[in-house]
A and B are shown apart, each in its own frame.
Chain A
Amino acid sequence: MKYKLDSGQGGNTPRPKLTLRAGIDRLAPLMPGEQKSVIVSLLAILVSSLASLTAPVLIAGAVDTYIRHKDTHGLERAALQVLGVYLWGVVASYVQVRTMGSAGRRLLFRLRNALFTKLQQLPVAFFNQNKAGDLISRLNNDTDKLNQFVAQALMQFMGSAFMITGAGIFLLSLNTRLGAAALVPAVIVLAITRMTSAWVKGRNVKSLQGLGGMSSEIQESLNNFKVIVAFNRVDYFRRKFEAANEVNYNASTAAGFANNIFMPLYGLSATLAQLIVIAYGIRLINAGQISLGLLVGFLMYVNSFYMPLRQLASVWSSFQMGLAALDRISDVLSLESDMSVTTGETLESTAVLSFRNVHFAYPDSKDILRNVSFDLEKGKAYALVGPTGGGKTTTASLMARLYDPTAGSVFLNGRDIRSWKPEERAQKIGFILQDPFLFSGSVRDNIVYGNPELQDYSSAQLAEVLEQANLTSLMERFSEGLDTRVATSGNSISLGQKQLIAFIRATLRKPELLILDEATANIDTVTEQLLEEILAKLPEYTTKVIIAHRLNTIDNVDQIFFVNSGEITEAGSMEHAVDMLLHGKRDS
């Protein structure tokens, strides 16, 4: 039940060191079918690199042979050759940008889908332990950082590496001593880069965490803006945001300072290399070991070597940022739900739902339920009563397997609820939550949500279904009926209306077990009577579990359970339940 992600507020778990290799290994499964893109791209970058290496050779050759020997004709031929080489390079770089850019976009697409799918696989407990804003940031911002790395930096990275290697070999083969001397600054800066990479990535992780933290702040405050306005806590909202903004600013600036040190450093190495070549080269010319033409050519190759090296520096930050993003993405992807479908025991019982020695506690808190056992028989109605905070909602959540018991078992139709496939379980259990949730869209969208049977019904057909289920009168509570617009937050519809929609949604599914958790708390009592009639007309196999404070809603139940202090006891009668509620041990 531990799903807390590291969002930078302590509790860091040391993670294995992430090298480029390991990073690529982790990216590989997310890029199926992209081998072709990578190969095409590599070939393209090979061609364009070769083109950029060959062009100066041809130019230097033209200078040495044709210009020196005043061969205009030869010069023209050489120019044409150079042009041809450039054309190859341009086409290749187009192919490369297009191929890798598309691959990056596809990776982004897949990565976001994978993350979203993972979020959907994780249980409710995960969302209790992590902030929505941080999750959104991981899904939107972090994945984009990785896309930028793949689309823009990865191939530039490889292309630069290839160019550097090529130019380095050229330099060494042209003149080993001069070449080696020219490479000394590069070796030094590469060593520095290698040594600092973990530190740089660490700063980038912090920066992304800062962004996530700020997103959490914005998400929470803006979605609850009415409280902020009504309690005039605008100053508080601003202070809290400013704090998050400041944290993000500091982390981001620190990351920027770390990322940006490489460009000047690599620039310095390039200038120093030229200096070394000039000084050493002149000495070698004076010693008669090389020609002037060679020195001129050499200076160009030094450029061909250091130019891509500087490009390497400019994509280095993108690389480190990508790795940092991959860390945060992998944190989510590597989480496994501990609520998988298992093979469970069976129970000899006719009950629809049974608790057997169930214990439950939320992480880091005391037991909510202790050794609870009871049975719910088919077609009967049950009520759970008890003081607030007594464990009623928790009990209902265990029935619908929103959580698993910490010990003991819940049986649905005599089979351990953990052995049911989620789709089968969902079909059997209807649960109207205490806080009804609506998706933005129309009333209709929300009523048919998750009901494949009704999904494609026309409005007339749907009206017919509502009529058959005695639900038509409830639709009068919506100004435009099925087409009334609904927003998740906001005040376009009232809580009572939301509860009506949740009620209609659940009853249309005709579940075998219907749980109503304070499902009608904000609905007026006249309408509520209507709901009771509708409940009474549900198929007779429907088992109902009602949680309510208002006792009139549980008038006609077959059995009342009193839930408090971790125990669930049967109340003999309504009077007994009321008595327990008033005089029993409170623990809320």
Chain B
Amino acid sequence: MELSEPQTPPKTKRGRPAGAPGPAGLFLLLKPYKGLILLLLALTVAGNGLNLVVPRLIARAIDGFRRPGFDLTNTVIQFALLAAVVFILTYFQALVQTYASERVAKDLRAKLVAKISVQSFAFVEQITPAKMLTNLTSDVDAVKLFISQAIASIISSVFLIFGASILLLTINWRLGLSILGIIPVIGLTLALVLSRVRKLFKLGQETVDWLNRVISESILGASLIRILHTQNIEFEKFSNANEQSKQIGLSILRLFAGLIPIITFATNLATVVILLLGGHFVITGSMTLGEFAAFNSYLAILIFPIMILGFMSNVIAQASASFARLGAILTAPDQKPALNLLTMLRGDFAIDNVSLAFGDKEALKNVSISAKAGTTTAIIGPTAAGKTQLLYLLIGLLEPSAGTVTYDGQPLVSYEKEALHRQIGIVFQDSVLFNLTLRENIAFSNTASDTDIEKAINAAELRDFIDTLPQGLDTVVSERGNSLSGGQKQRVMLARALTLNPKVLLLDDFTARVDSSTERKILANVHAEYPGITLISVTQKIASVEDYDQIILLMEGEILDSGTHRHLMETSPEYVQIYDSQRSTSVYEVQA
């Protein structure tokens, strides 16, 4: 039907891969649910088709009851049967419709998450979690609404318009034709409004992303906002996003508020035409009064689906705009086919001539570091020297713009991700805890054994703390770990890394939040309980790494010096400066 044509241009239908964005993708998305959708259509068509018979029965009863041999009981039984069947059909249609839409939404979400989960950290940061949240909730819901409300309505409306048109034509073709003239008028109006409104819906969803971000930041920064008493600043930010959202909403409203009356009036005109022309035909005797009544009934049947199409255009526009927004995720490449090296790591690593650039900013320049399994390496240097980025390269969170990272002589990218991440543990600088039990936060999967967890907890010196908790390891940590102190969080993070029984352990400023004596105990535990581990530690504190096999002095993305503590003390004035800056601490460390 020409009414739905703007949504399904035939060209794009064939040209795009399944699930691709764009309005046509919406229909392609439904491909795996063919059976369900066909059932839905069959029920809809059957239900609506039978509904068309109702006016027929009415006309027959009115025209026929005076004739001899008219059986009222028979008509009543027919009528009642029809009503029952229609009810059952429409009821099942409603069930199937709900089920289909929820199924598609659920599967679409799962598909999106499956895509996201194999993407890199950088991908998620680039699209932003705020937008992904909108994608997975509001955008998917728009698609869901399209299936639950629009699909069946559109198809059944088209069917009804067809059916009613044919019936109108069979009763009186001249009258019928004059009525059907309204359809192209309506189709044109719809197409015009839709093309404009889709852009607005896209903008509207973007303001939802914006709102998500502002709300999310106001929650994450709740303490700061209360300390500075800047609630009004946050409100202003929110209000700006909210205002924009309102303006877009009002623009959409203006278009639709105009669309509906135009459609209504077109259908009204049809009614007047029938009264005038049909009345004329009855007067001139070319039509019976019963036919006239039936004609009116069919017109009512014709008008309803046209109005529905008008209302549904809103849903169609919203769904196609939302679905297009999912494109960035749906068309993202699947995981890169790695060489799937599954070997156990010995623990040698080498960073060879690595550079890392963000745009035209170079965070690391020609960095080369290597170490044998079981050795200890410290990375030291001023804030923003690129230390953390170096660790991110070593665990594959970032990819070097030049140079290679290798483990046991094999490039990092050639290892199967899973195998690699099972053998390299990292303790991030900032603590990331989930709203799960302590056990889950530490094991972080169901595969870690209790002995591994116990060993890690003891090594991280968490035993005493956990013993003070009434529910021990089953204590639920609040979101963002707000119920734990900084040092406790840091140690939970360490236990999480140690539970892997890693061959390589990366520590990012682990010592920052743990007091010296605890730190010393923990590091001794790690060496004793996890022998042969390759340790790479980013730190500010020379005292704790003096006996390391090598210390790398990193400044502004470049290696300034490297070697043992003694070597650096003799050769590197910058190192000595850092050492001196810590001497007052050392006094107390020595005492301890």
Q: Decide if A282 touches B65 in the complex (CB within 8 Å).
A: yes
* Nearest neighbor of B135 in chain A, beta-carbon distance: A218
Q: Give residues 74-107 of B contacting A (CB, 8 Å).
A: 75-76, 79-80, 82-83, 86-87, 90-91, 93-95, 97-99, 101-103, 105-106
Question: Please, how many angstroms separate the alpha-carbon atoms of A214 and B487 in the complex?
Answer: 30
Q: Decide if A450 touches B233 in the complex (CB within 8 Å).
A: yes
Q: Does B195 contact A (CB under 8 A)?
A: no
Q: Decide if B133 touches A139 in the complex (CB within 8 Å).
A: no
What mask results when residues 567 to 592 of chain B are scored 1 for a CB within 8 Å of chain A, else 0? Answer: 00000000001100110110010011
Question: Please, how many angstroms separate the alpha-carbon atoms of A128 and B384 in the complex?
Answer: 31
Partner of A522, one of B62, B383, B421: B383
17 contacts between A and B (CB under 8 A): A72-B283, A87-B265, A101-B257, A105-B246, A215-B133, A218-B136, A256-B98, A257-B98, A271-B82, A426-B230, A433-B227, A437-B223, A488-B216, A491-B121, A494-B384, A521-B486, A588-B464
Please give, as numbers and ranges, the residues of chain B lying within 8 Å of A139 by CB-CB distance. 211, 215
Q: Does A292 contact B (CB under 8 A)?
A: yes
Please give, as numbers and ranges, the residues of chain B lying within 8 Å of A234 by CB-CB distance. 117-118
Question: Please, how many angstroms separate the alpha-carbon atoms of A400 and B222 in the complex?
Answer: 13
Q: Name the residue among B228, B426, B588 with the largest chain A CB count within 10 angstroms.
A: B228
Q: Does B375 contact A (CB under 8 A)?
A: no
Q: Does A278 contact B (CB under 8 A)?
A: yes
Partner of B94, one of A66, A109, A260, A518: A260
- With A215-B133, A220-B479, A231-B444 in contact, is A275–B383 under 8 Å at CB? no
Q: Does A268 contact B (CB under 8 A)?
A: yes
Q: Decide if B113 touches A238 in the complex (CB within 8 Å).
A: yes
Q: Decide if A494 touches B109 in the complex (CB within 8 Å).
A: no
Please give, as numbers and ranges, the residues of chain A lying within 8 Å of B444 by CB-CB distance. 231, 233, 236
Q: Decide if A90 touches B268 in the complex (CB within 8 Å).
A: yes
Partner of A105, one of B223, B250, B426: B250
Q: Give residues 266-290 of A contacting B (CB, 8 Å).
A: 267-268, 271-272, 274-275, 278-279, 282-283, 285-286
Q: Decide if A389 touches B484 in the complex (CB within 8 Å).
A: yes
Please give, as numbers and ranges, the residues of chain A lying within 8 Å of B482 by CB-CB distance. 127-128
Question: Please, how many angstroms separate the alpha-carbon atoms of A532 and B94 in the complex?
Answer: 70
Lowest 8 A-B CB distances belong to which pairs?
A388-B487, A232-B421, A256-B98, A426-B229, A496-B383, A450-B228, A222-B129, A260-B94
Q: How far is the CB of A424 from chain B (nearest CB, A)?
A: 9
Q: Decide if A261 touches B94 in the complex (CB within 8 Å).
A: yes
Q: Does A177 contact B (CB under 8 A)?
A: no
Question: Please, how many angstroms separate the alpha-carbon atoms of A400 and B392 in the complex?
Answer: 36
Q: Decide if B397 touches A388 in the complex (CB within 8 Å).
A: no
Q: Decide if A524 touches B486 in the complex (CB within 8 Å).
A: no
Please give, as numbers and ranges, the residues of chain A lying within 8 Å of B124 by CB-CB distance. 222, 225
Question: Please, how many angstroms separate the alpha-carbon atoms of A429 and B223 in the complex?
Answer: 13
Please give, as numbers and ranges, the residues of chain B lying within 8 Å of A285 by CB-CB distance. 65
Q: Does B344 contact A (CB under 8 A)?
A: no
- With A109-B243, A578-B591 in contact, is A62–B137 under 8 Å at CB? no
Q: How far is the CB of B397 from chain A (nearest CB, A)?
A: 6
Q: Decide if B516 touches A549 in the complex (CB within 8 Å).
A: yes
Question: Please, how many angstroms separate the alpha-carbon atoms of A253 and B102 in the complex?
Answer: 6
Q: Give residues 20-79 of B contacting A (CB, 8 Å).
A: 54, 57-58, 61-62, 65, 72, 75-76, 79
Q: Give residues 406-465 of B contacting A (CB, 8 Å).
A: 417-418, 420-422, 426, 428-432, 434-435, 444-445, 464-465
Question: Please, how many angstroms separate the alpha-carbon atoms of A131 and B133 in the complex?
Answer: 14
Q: Decide if B223 touches A526 in the complex (CB within 8 Å).
A: no
Please give, as numbers and ranges, the residues of chain B lying within 8 Å of A43 by CB-CB distance. none
Q: Decide if A140 touches B383 in the complex (CB within 8 Å).
A: no
Q: Decide if B398 touches A491 in the complex (CB within 8 Å).
A: yes
Q: Decide if A113 touches B540 in the complex (CB within 8 Å).
A: no
Partner of A524, one of B102, B272, B275, B381: B381
Q: Decide if A264 touches B87 in the complex (CB within 8 Å).
A: yes
Q: Does A537 contact B (CB under 8 A)?
A: no
> Interface SS of chain A: helix, strand, loop or mixed?
helix
Please give, as numbers and ranges, the residues of chain A lying within 8 Å of B429 by CB-CB distance. 494-495, 522
Please give, as numbers and ranges, the residues of chain A lying within 8 Å of B226 by CB-CB distance. 123-124, 400, 402, 422
Q: How far is the CB of B87 from chain A (nearest CB, A)?
A: 4
Q: Does A477 contact B (CB under 8 A)?
A: yes
Q: Give residues 282-335 of B contacting A (CB, 8 Å).
A: 282-283, 289, 292-293, 296, 300
Please give, as numbers and ranges, the residues of chain A lying within 8 Å of B293 by CB-CB distance. 296, 299
Q: Does B353 contact A (CB under 8 A)?
A: no
Q: Name the residue among B79, B227, B282 with the largest chain A CB count within 10 angstroms.
A: B227
Q: Does B213 contact A (CB under 8 A)?
A: yes
* Nearest neighbor of B237 in chain A, beta-carbon distance: A439
* Nearest neighbor of A283 in chain B, beta-carbon distance: B72
What mask results when residues 211 to 255 of chain B are scored 1 for a CB within 8 Å of chain A, else 0? Answer: 111011111111111111111011100110011011001100110
Q: Decide if B227 touches A490 in the complex (CB within 8 Å).
A: no
Please give, as numbers and ranges, the residues of chain B lying within 8 Å of A215 by CB-CB distance. 133, 137
Q: Does B513 contact A (CB under 8 A)?
A: yes
Q: Give residues 68-88 of A contacting B (CB, 8 Å).
A: 68, 70, 72, 75-76, 78-79, 82-83, 86-87
Q: Decide if B215 touches A75 in the complex (CB within 8 Å).
A: no
* Nearest neighbor of A207 in chain B, beta-carbon distance: B102
Q: Decide if A389 touches B487 in the complex (CB within 8 Å).
A: yes
Q: How far is the CB of B350 from chain A (nearest CB, A)?
A: 20
What mask results when residues 495 to 506 of chain A are scored 1 for a CB within 8 Å of chain B, else 0? Answer: 111011000000
Q: Does A419 contact B (CB under 8 A)?
A: no
Please give, as numbers and ranges, the residues of chain A lying within 8 Å of B229 by CB-CB distance. 422-423, 425-426, 450
Q: Name the residue among A389, A528, A581 with the largest chain B CB count within 10 angstroms.
A: A389
Please give, as numbers and ranges, the residues of chain A lying within 8 Å of B518 by CB-CB distance. 387-388
- With A222-B124, A256-B102, A490-B125 in contact, is A550–B228 under 8 Å at CB? no
Q: List the one stretch of A28-36, A92-100, A343-351 in contact with chain B.
A: A92-100
Q: Does B114 contact A (CB under 8 A)?
A: yes
Q: Decide if A232 touches B275 in the complex (CB within 8 Å).
A: no
Given A238-B113, A256-B102: 10 more A-B contacts, CB < 8 Å? A109-B246, A136-B133, A140-B211, A233-B444, A278-B76, A523-B540, A525-B541, A526-B578, A555-B584, A587-B468
What mask results when residues 493 to 533 of chain B are scored 1 for a CB within 8 Å of chain A, else 0? Answer: 00011001000000001001111111000000000000000
Q: List the one stretch of A193-201, A240-248, A404-412, A460-468 in contact with chain B.
A: A240-248
Q: List the one stretch of A10-18, A114-122, A168-176, A325-333 in contact with chain B.
A: A114-122
Q: Name the residue among A128, A248, A275, A286 with the largest chain B CB count within 10 angstroms.
A: A275
Please give, as numbers and ranges, the residues of chain A lying within 8 Å of B113 by CB-CB distance. 237-238, 241-242, 245
Please give, as numbers and ranges, the residues of chain B lying within 8 Å of A371 by CB-CB distance. none
Q: Decide if A388 touches B253 in the complex (CB within 8 Å).
A: no
What mask results when residues 468 to 489 of chain B are scored 1 for a CB within 8 Å of chain A, else 0? Answer: 1000000000110011111110
Q: Does A487 contact B (CB under 8 A)?
A: yes
Q: Decide if A62 touches B428 in the complex (CB within 8 Å).
A: no
Q: Decide if B513 touches A518 in the complex (CB within 8 Å).
A: yes
Q: Decide if A402 touches B227 in the complex (CB within 8 Å).
A: yes
Question: Please, how many angstroms separate the alpha-carbon atoms of A296 and B294 in the complex?
Answer: 10
Q: Does A334 contact B (CB under 8 A)?
A: no
Partner of B132, one of A63, A222, A303, A587: A222
Q: Give residues 396-443 of A contacting B (CB, 8 Å).
A: 397, 400, 402, 422-423, 425-426, 429-431, 433-435, 437, 439-440
Please give, as numbers and ranges, the residues of chain A lying within 8 Å of B120 by CB-CB distance. 229
Please give, as numbers and ranges, the residues of chain B lying within 8 Å of A510 by CB-CB distance. none
Q: Does B8 contact A (CB under 8 A)?
A: no
Partner of B432, one of A224, A253, A521: A224
Q: Does B260 contact A (CB under 8 A)?
A: yes
Question: Please, how many angstroms separate the alpha-carbon atoms of A491 and B421 in the complex?
Answer: 20
Question: Please, how many angstroms separate the alpha-carbon atoms of A252 and B591 in the complex?
Answer: 64
Q: Does B17 contact A (CB under 8 A)?
A: no
Question: Please, how many angstroms separate the alpha-carbon atoms of A578 and B114 in the complex?
Answer: 52
Q: Does B276 contact A (CB under 8 A)?
A: yes
Q: Does B172 contact A (CB under 8 A)?
A: no
Q: Decide if B395 touches A529 in the complex (CB within 8 Å).
A: no
